[in-house]
Amino acid sequence: MARLGEAVRLLLGGTLYASALALAMLVPWSGYLFHLWLRDPELAAGVSYYFSWLVWGILPVTLFQALRGIIEMRWFAPWNLYTLLSAAAAQVLVYAVARGLLGETAAVRAALLTTFWTMGGLTLGLLDISWWRPLHYWGIGRLAGVSGVVALVNGLLAERPGMPEVLLGLALSVAIVFVGLGWWTSPPAVRAVRAFLWPRAALEPPRRT
């Protein structure tokens, strides 16, 4: 159980940080990237209409995908199947209710987003509460601050979109993440992921200056 808890915390930490930082970089540039990819302004606007809601389901979907294998090994009951069936039922229910209140397309967006968050929420609900503690392990405040700065920088650059601005936003985002999460003492979740990815670097003694 201790080894399982370590694996779950590692997956949760990596997924949480990767998803939050990806959202901070992706959302400001989504309109420009859709125009660059699809070429048709009307088609790009239609895709952006759905993407503007569904993008907020990235985090729960990645949590479900990251943890479903562990859930299958930990419990003999088909909890992943129950999660998917519950998410499908929530999707149908929300669509049926929202269709008359919000209209067809808005009901589709709300139903799909509900599906994603139901999947993520039920997946997290299966975890042992002790795996979440202590709360400072996750460094939520640091993550929120770094993600907010990344989103602000990319949002300002995306006001006049172009490939130079995209590259500049990417470079600045990497620098902000490096400074914000690595310059000072990193949150324990970040250190755990870093030690897993680069185990030799984690074992090396600090260099003398």
The answer to whether residue 204 is domain-embedded is: no
- Residue pair 8/70 in contact (Cβ under 8 Å)? The answer is yes
Q: What is the pLDDT of residue 209?
A: 42
Are 123 and 59 in contact by the 8 Å Cβ rule? The answer is no
* Residue 208, pLDDT above cutoff 60: no
Q: In this structure, is residue 98 part of a structural domain?
A: yes
The reply to whether 54 falls in a domain is yes
DSSP state of 75: -
Q: Residue 192 has what pLDDT?
A: 79
Q: Is residue 57 part of a domain?
A: yes
Rg of the chain on CA atoms, in Å:
20
At 87, the pLDDT band (50, 70, 90 cuts) reads: very high
Say if residues 13 and 193 touch (Cβ distance below 8 Å).
yes
Q: Determine the pLDDT at residue 200.
A: 58
Proportion of the chain above pLDDT 90, given as a percent: 20
Answer whether residue 56 is part of any domain.
yes
Task: Give Cα 183 to chain centroid, integer Å.
Answer: 23
Mean pLDDT, rounded, for 162-179:
87
> 66 with 105: CB under 8 angstroms?
no
Domain count within the chain:
1
Q: What is the model's pLDDT at position 40?
A: 84
Measured distance CA(164)–CA(177) in Å, rounded: 20
Q: Is residue 155 part of a domain?
A: no
In a domain, 130, yes or no: yes
Domain that includes residue 76, residue range: 2-134+189-196
**Per-residue pLDDT tens over the stretch 92-138:** 999 999 988 888 888 988 999 999 999 999 998 888 777 777 778 88
Answer whether residue 159 is part of any domain: no
pLDDT of residue 115: 94
pLDDT value for 187: 79
149, 176 Cβ separation under 8 angstroms:
yes
